[in-house]
Homo-oligomer: A and B are copies of this chain.
Amino acid sequence: MERIAIVGLGLIGGSLGLDLTRQGYTVVGIARRAETALAALSMGAAIEAGTDVALVAGADVVFICTPIDAVVATARAVIPHLSDGAVITDVASVKGKIVPQVAALWPNFVGGHPMAGKAEAGLAVAEPGLFRCRPYVLTPTEMTKPAALELVRAIAESLGANLSQCHPDQHDRAVAWISHLPVMVSSSLILACQSEINPNLLALAQTLASSGFQDTSRVGGGVPELGTLMARHNRAALLDALTQYQAQLEQMKTLIVAEKWDALHNTLTQAQTARPAYLKVPPA
């Protein structure tokens, strides 16, 4: 295998390009804008680059790294230029709707989701080693060809990512909990603080905000396009998670209203005890 095409040169596509170029692949980058393609070339995120999807011709693997809502259309545009054995994979953070649609267009498709977000988006914040020790989930179905799966898995492993595998619907429900719900929880925190009507108190709160607020608000202050796409494409699972979250928060509030301090302590202890399981480095 020699040639890898990356369609969409943002944070993920650009970071992939930086790693794969360094590994010696002929990385072909395709962007919507010519300036982005040029920037990818000059930073070493691609060996060839341009705006024409026909550049994917001859690629062994195509990574579709566009926003969620452009993945299926991009696959449709790319496919006429591919040779039969080529493998398509994507990096979208929602899989349930995308995977069956692209698989119906191209049998050698493997859904993927490298979990390596940042507060900022775009090629400017791409970096080598972005995927190292980060979760990278592949979402094969009964239809997925084993050889295609193995190929994408080998590339993801070469990035140093922690691979895991599940069904697209399971993926969407799991990321609703640990990725999409946190965005809504965190952005609501920022907006609740902004609702303080006394301007002096608001200024004081902003001055006193320290690392705790900074961390809790980070994903909520991220790119609005991404949060909107998450909600739009994973709406049902996110709403389930939100409803559970609201019930949990109401329960905690009830303990504070009733001054049940031992029960609140127990509840906070449960949270403290549960958290480490979400931090462990998963087996590769």
Contacts and interface: CB of A to CB of B under 8 A. Distances in A.
Interface of A: 115-117, 134-135, 137, 162, 164, 166, 170-171, 173-175, 177-179, 181-196, 200-201, 204-225, 227-228, 231-232, 235, 238-239, 241-250, 252-253, 256-257, 259, 261, 264-272, 274-280, 282
A275 B249 CA distance: 23
A227 B170 CA distance: 33
A207 B164 contact: yes
A194 to B, nearest CB: 5
Contacts of A282: 207
A253 B183 CA distance: 12
A177 B191 contact: no
B190 A274 contact: yes
Contacts of A216: 182, 185-186, 215-216, 218-219
A13 B250 CA distance: 35
Contact of A209 (B200, B259, B278): B278
B220 A271 contact: yes
Contacts of A274: 190-191, 193-194, 221
Contacts of A259: 232, 235
A233 to B, nearest CB: 10
Interface centre among A186, A212, A246, A261 (most CB of B within 10 A): A212
Given A245-B192, A270-B191, A208 B175 contact: yes
Contacts of A208: 115, 135, 137, 164, 171, 174-175, 178-179
Contacts of A246: 246, 249-250, 253
Q: Looking at chain A's contact residues, is the secondary structure mostly helix, strand, loop, or mixed?
A: helix
Contacts of A277: 206
Contacts of A200: 170
A243 B257 CA distance: 11
Given A187-B271, A201-B174, A271-B191, A213 B278 contact: yes
A245 B189 contact: yes
29 contacts: A115-B210, A116-B210, A117-B212, A166-B204, A170-B200, A171-B208, A178-B212, A179-B210, A181-B193, A185-B189, A186-B271, A187-B267, A187-B268, A188-B271, A190-B275, A191-B248, A191-B267, A191-B271, A192-B249, A193-B274, A205-B278, A207-B282, A224-B266, A224-B271, A225-B265, A232-B261, A239-B256, A242-B256, A243-B253
A217 B275 contact: yes
A84 to B, nearest CB: 33
A266 B210 CA distance: 26
